[in-house]
């Protein structure tokens, strides 16, 4: 499960390397699913990029260690790490490129801009 103070690695090219969960949107106690918007604090970052250490940003959960079950196709997906994409204004991604793959569940959550930025969709 993903609770407060959970650390995530960042999947895009904004300059953030690691972030920590501060809170979830929409009055959730915790955010445990792919496609949830969360508030994060940047813990590690590359110098001279868009995001600095200590910034508070919105992020979208893209990959989780918890399994995603697809009953219609008959299989499940697991990822090796929890990863997020840093979001800017109007729930648009702040970066321009993604370093990994995303799932089809983001399309159902109406995160189409994030899906189109990725080169791999599962």
Residue 117 sits in a domain whose CATH number is 2.40.150.20
Q: Residue 1 falls within a domain, yes or no?
A: no
**Chain segment 18-42, per-residue pLDDT in tens:** 999 998 877 676 667 888 889 999 9
Would you say residue 2 lies in a domain? no
pTM metric for this prediction? 0.89
Task: Give the total number of structural domains in the chain.
Answer: 1
Q: CA–CA distance from 29 to each of 2, 7, 25, 26, 65 (Å)? A: 10, 17, 9, 9, 19
Return the pLDDT at 40. Answer: 95
**Pairing between strand 101-102 and 120-121?**
parallel
Give me the domain span that covers residue 37. Answer: 7-121
């Amino acid at each position: 499960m993903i609770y407060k103070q959970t650390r995530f690695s960042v999947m895009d090219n904004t300059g953030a390397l690691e972030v920590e969960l501060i809170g979830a949107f929409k009055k959730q106690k915790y955010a445990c699913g792919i496609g949830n918007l969360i508030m994060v604090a940047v813990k590690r970052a590359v110098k001279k990029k868009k995001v600095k250490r200590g910034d508070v940003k919105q992020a979208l959960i893209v990959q989780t260690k918890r399994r995603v079950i697809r009953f219609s196709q008959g299989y499940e997906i697991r990822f090796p790490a929890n990863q997020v994409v840093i979001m800017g204004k109007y729930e648009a991604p702040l970066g321009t490129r993604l370093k990994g793959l995303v799932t089809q569940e983001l399309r159902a959550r109406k995160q189409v801009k994030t899906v189109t930025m990725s080169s791999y969709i599962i």
